[in-house]
Amino acid sequence: MDEQLMRARRVAPVFDSERLLATRELIGGVQAEIARAAEMSPSALSQAERGVAKPTAATLKRLADAMGVPVEAFSRRPEPTTGLTPQFRHLRRTPQRERRRAARLVEATDAVVKVLRARVRLPEPFEFRRDIDPEARVADVASEIEDVAVATRVELGLDSNTPVDAGLVDVMENSGVVVVRDVETDDAIDAYSAVVNSQPIVVLDGGSDSVWDRDNFNLAHELGHLVMHRTAEHRPGTKTVESQAHRFAGAFLAPEGALRSEVPDDLDWAQYLELKIRWGMSMAALVHRARDLGIIDELIYTRAMKQRSAYGWRRVEPGKDLRPLPRPSLLAEAAMLAELTNEDLAVAAGIPESVVERILGSGPSPSVRT
């Protein structure tokens, strides 16, 4: 008898319809296409996903084959506890299907973390938080956010006057934030963050148009959500919440005490480029930071934004190739240390091997954290 069918017979009595739905959403599969590949009708698949009907072992095998997952992916298991729903920068521009897929990816990432944590030592999940009222205007809580950013630097063991620069991804991973660069993230999503089963997870867009300075700011922005909005009941993606995270990112990457003496009070773009390289954030973000700190006024800021557009800098600024993209490596290194292949992780975590590849990335760095 086919091995997968034998495993399907063991899974059938503990089949979980939610796991079937979660797996399809995770791979972005269209119901009609999956049903066709599994030789069943879309209505039959819909009934199985809703728990109305229970598939046979043979049907489970065909579904597993169609989705490229071990049949154990459909076994009942404890539902993940979400401490912070995925925080999307542009909620209205993010299709509902992509939001569901993103939620499934962070759940899958947590499943991989659990498998690895049982075999190797990983940093304990990052838990530091300082709540900011998600309904408060940034102007009313700016000083609080600045203080929170400083406190977060202290928590992470960073000097208040030292640029984090390209090392932010390592700092976050070493402090218990799992970072994933996902090559299949929707174009409308720069990054998002979530907390699943107490594990903070940040997902960066892994598309070809990624730029190191924007990624660095995105990491700091999502760190702001994890620190300020983790325990607050709020609707993600609101202008207020996103503005708060933006203010945090600027204050975290470029603390006022260190930056104020370095920023010009005019539009000296050559100097801003030097500051970009030093502080690891875009010239646009630095200009925004200068306005926040009152170093430049609204008139100069507006002129700067117009010049950026005229120079074609809105998406890519000068200095694009001066730094590599932030590269997460914690999970890939842990898998290497645990001597687990992507296939091993897929079976143990109950997710598609292709998703394991998305989560781990292209491979580990030479060094291994222990």
339-358 tens-digit pLDDT: 999 999 998 888 889 899 99
Whether the pLDDT of residue 250 is over 50: the answer is yes
127 and 167 in a common domain: yes
Sequential DSSP letters for 34-62: HHHHTTS-HHHHHHHHHTSS---HHHHHH
1-29 average pLDDT score = 87
Q: How many domains does the chain have?
A: 2
How many Å apart are CA 172 and CA 252, to the nearest integer?
Answer: 13
190 and 91 in a common domain: yes
pLDDT over 90 percentage in the chain: 59
Range of the domain at 48: 3-74
Q: pLDDT tier at 166 (50, 70, 90 boundaries)? A: low
133-153 tens-digit pLDDT: 999 999 999 999 999 999 999
92 and 64 in a common domain: no
90 and 34 in a common domain: no
22-41 average pLDDT score = 90
DSSP state of 265: S
Domain boundary among 32, 51, 74: 74
162 and 244 in a common domain: yes
Q: pLDDT tier at 63 (50, 70, 90 boundaries)? A: very high
58 and 191 in a common domain: no
Indicate the helix (H) or strand (E) that contains 86: strand 82-88
- Please give the residue that has the higher pLDDT: either 59 or 95: 59
Mean pLDDT of the chain: 88
Indicate the helix (H) or strand (E) that contains 117: helix 96-117
Total length of the chain: 370
Closest CA to 120 of 346, 349, 347, 336: 336
How many Å apart are CA 31 and CA 158, to the nearest integer?
Answer: 48
308-317 tens-digit pLDDT: 999 999 878 9
Q: pLDDT tier at 369 (50, 70, 90 boundaries)? A: very low
291 and 197 in a common domain: yes
- Asked whether the beta carbons of 60 and 11 are under 8 A apart, the reply is yes
368 and 279 in a common domain: yes
Domain boundary among 74, 99, 114: 74
